[in-house]
Amino acid sequence: MPYLHLDLPGRFPVAQKRELAVRLCRLYADVMQTQTWRPNIGIAELGEDNLFHLGPDGLEPIVMVLVEFRAGRPSEYRLGLADGIVDACVEVLGVPRRWVLVEFTPHRGEEIYRDGRWVADWTPDERAPVSAT
């Protein structure tokens, strides 16, 4: 935790996926004010014709991003993170902005097990300095 899971509507080169993963780790750390080693990124390539959304012109592919995170952060942080995730997917994967959907699932600290114990909800006292990258 945190975990960002991306379902992709196709196959992408390894270099693009790795670039996206690094960018999302840094983005999460900067926006959510934590360390860069905390975010975990999972990328599932569902392949062509396996991930859809019913848009105004019929079925269209989507990139579905699920963000699992510890409760406690203000909604402005999540909004900034969502904007950054969409930007990263558009720039790195070359998909249209309208394809990228982001959902957030907050978890109480007692739902997350790490290092032999439950963790606590996030508090502003935990803030890590925003990185210069």
Would you give per-residue pLDDT tens digits along the chain (133 residues)? Answer: 799 999 999 999 999 999 999 999 999 999 999 889 999 999 999 999 999 999 888 999 999 999 999 888 899 999 999 999 999 999 999 999 999 999 999 887 777 777 787 777 777 777 776 654 4
**Segment holding 47, helix H or strand E:** none
Check whether domain 3-126 has CATH 1.10.150.20, yes or no: no
| 9 cis-preceded (ω within 30 degrees of 0) | no
User: Measured between alpha carbons, how far apart are the two ends of the chain, in Å?
Assistant: 22
In degrees, to the nearest 5, what angle opens at C-alpha 16 toward C-alphas 65 and 49? 55
Closest alpha carbon to 78 in 24, 31, 125:
31
Give the model's pLDDT for residue 129: 65
